[in-house]
Structure 1
């Protein structure tokens, strides 16, 4: 029984050898330029990833796979960020017009939004009993001071009345005109505190106003803001002081320059973007709040070795690139990558300038490399590392000792070692009959060498 099991183990080993050999020679038949049926196994380099070996591809097979290469280049990396910006008012130039005294609006001069106003020009006139009373007190105090030659505090009363008028936003020029006129002004004009465009108008003729009530909103459009949303992963590239190039769909072919003046310190939780502010001169009024602008930020990042993104196989744990060498040899290399910019990848280690890396057909070469490494490993497991394989059939295997067992001279009853080349009654051509263990005669078994 022991001899029987030893013999069966030997037979099983032979069958596995035949199977692995056929797989090996099928792979070899696809490779031209081989001498004597020997499979070239290039020695892996120091940076070769585990589980892969260099691959040999003939020019014909490279053409079928569509292999393309590109040299590793040393150059400065420029990152281009494109985004859409919104033209907005410069918040520093917004002005709200209010009154500090109650009264009724008369003589509404600026009566529509969008009208241009200049600083110091009348917006409307307001009739206020308190303002009228203070004017009378001021005129009386001045008259008394002149008659009494500033005696008995008449000058102090005039100064107090003047100060009250100034606190109510009555301009010194208006007070001077009041002094020359010598009569109170029934409805005192309210002057514009800034130049710009009226963006909102709440004032109406005859409307009663109270202190602090907003009547106009004026925006100076000589300088505007462009607010741009930048994705979170692009924020490290943005710095204040950088210049941006802007274009408008309403002005094709024209380019405008602006400077980044502020990066808002918070993100929009829904879009995961942060807002940056670009300031633009708008003396000609070409930029109107509410417009959209195309914004391009060209940033000089760093200098280093660059390869196309398609040349890098990233498994998450390691990055691999295939380097083309002489004789159709493609060597896998473990590389370390840095920045990813504009469909290019910065290589920190693993490649040298001028080396040609595969950019097309990378996945097929990677599969070939892993397959050959697996086959090499299987042959090592069954002891085929030192065998010399010649031809595409198992004519003879040097270095193989079956321990006195000759498979050609000995026959076993009930077992056919052929591959179905002979026809057996009741069975189709090409199918081997099953082994019948009970028909084997243990006496006919050859002695095993010890």
Structure 2
């Protein structure tokens, strides 16, 4: 049996241990209460940090050898003189100043025809043999110019009867007639430079406004005429063209090439180069003209960005993002 003194000592020890446990629990509770707002503040800071860099999306690494093999080209963003342009449409026409109509010097019977429509002839080349009705002498007709035979109204045995026998067209230069509508008419003047695309639209031809025809068409457009060199014969009369007429220019402090722009994660971006890393940089764009787009925000002057084959960087970023998501 325990004595009363021993029982009292055991009771005091139990009470003492219980008190220590309560104190420790209160201390732990205070620590938890302090930690909870601190943890919430840290999460908020992470969110704020992410929002602060929302304009930068995506990063990928491409080795220099791979960049060269894929044709990835970069240049620095900076100020650009942009053109004020009026877009017009029209078609290529034969330059009638270079069309030659051929008739017989003396009426008679056509004895021989040496050319056909589509033939290329040179100056001095034999065209026709004709027997004169008056002298019954046979004479020849030769080409006075070089060009293509575009019309023939002469066959063996026929009489010339003062008519037009052949048409030779020199296509070494052609006209481009552009339709200028009333809303643009005041901006267009003689001598303004013009960039034109015809046919496959890949080749750019340049010229100037040489003439404004004085009469409006049925659609109320007036014709602005451009004379183009066609020594290579690639510009075919009748082909439709689009043209940009340069009516003025202005300088912007920062611009990028429009071919560099890509759509990425619902934004318009360029891919900036940082060493051998590439990042998608979200841009706010202003005016666009020709090959250039004005940058209002999202890019610093002097930043090097991808100008050629940017779609390759985009594909690599999208592939990297897909792998990361899995």
- The alignment status of 1:257 with 2:206, answered yes or no, reads yes
Report what 2:122 is aligned to.
Answer: 118
SS of 2:184's partner is: helix
Runs (4 or more) in structure 1 with deviation over 4 Å come to 75-78
Q: Which is strand-richer, 1 or 2?
A: 2
Counterpart mapping for 1:355-366 below 5 A: none
Question: Can you list the C-alpha shifts for 1:290-321, whole angstroms capped at 9, x where unaligned?
Answer: 11112111221679xxxxxxxxxxxxxxxxxx
Match of 1:298 among 239, 242, 246: 246
- The alignment status of 1:232 with 2:182, answered yes or no, reads yes
Match of 1:92 among 97, 102, 115: 97
TM-superposed CA distance for 1:79, in Å, is 2.8
Answer whether contact 1:76 1:300 (CA < 8 A) is retained. Answer: no
Normalised by the length of structure 2, the TM-score is 0.50
Match of 1:247 among 187, 197, 203: 197
SS of 1:208's partner is: coil
Change (3 A) 1:239 1:129: same
Question: Can you list the C-alpha shifts for 1:147-186, whole angstroms capped at 9, x where unaligned?
Answer: xxxxxxxxxxxxxxxxxxxxxxxxxxxxxxxxxxxxxxx4
SS of 1:266's partner is: coil
Question: Can you list the C-alpha shifts for 1:220-242, whole angstroms capped at 9, x where unaligned?
Answer: 00000000001112111111111
Answer whether contact 2:211 2:225 (CA < 8 A) is retained. Answer: yes
Counterpart mapping for 1:48-87 below 5 A: 78-87=83-92
TM-superposed CA distance for 1:85, in Å, is 2.0
Q: Tell me the distance in 1 between the aligned counterparts of 2:234 and 2:203.
A: 11
Report what 1:218 is aligned to.
Answer: 168
Gaps of 5+ in 1: 1-74, 133-185, 304-341, 344-450
The structure number with the bigger radius of gyration is 1
Answer whether contact 2:92 2:238 (CA < 8 A) is retained. Answer: yes
Question: Can you list the C-alpha shifts for 1:82-122, whole angstroms capped at 9, x where unaligned?
Answer: 12221111111011001132100012101x21111112211
Q: Tell me the distance in 1 between the aligned counterparts of 2:83 and 2:145.
A: 43
Report what 2:149 is aligned to.
Answer: 198
Q: Tell me the distance in 2 between the aligned counterparts of 1:118 and 1:281.
A: 19
Q: Tell me the distance in 1 between the aligned counterparts of 2:103 and 2:224.
A: 32
Answer whether contact 1:97 1:193 (CA < 8 A) is retained. Answer: no
SS of 1:283's partner is: coil
Question: Can you list the C-alpha shifts for 1:312-343, whole angstroms capped at 9, x where unaligned?
Answer: xxxxxxxxxxxxxxxxxxxxxxxxxxxxxx79
Q: Tell me the distance in 1 between the aligned counterparts of 2:84 and 2:220.
A: 20
Normalised by the length of structure 1, the TM-score is 0.37
Q: Tell me the distance in 2 between the aligned counterparts of 1:286 and 1:210.
A: 37
Gaps of 5+ in 2: 1-79, 252-286, 289-326
Q: Tell me the distance in 2 between the aligned counterparts of 1:284 and 1:197.
A: 14
Answer whether contact 1:94 1:219 (CA < 8 A) is retained. Answer: yes
- Corresponding pairs, count: 177
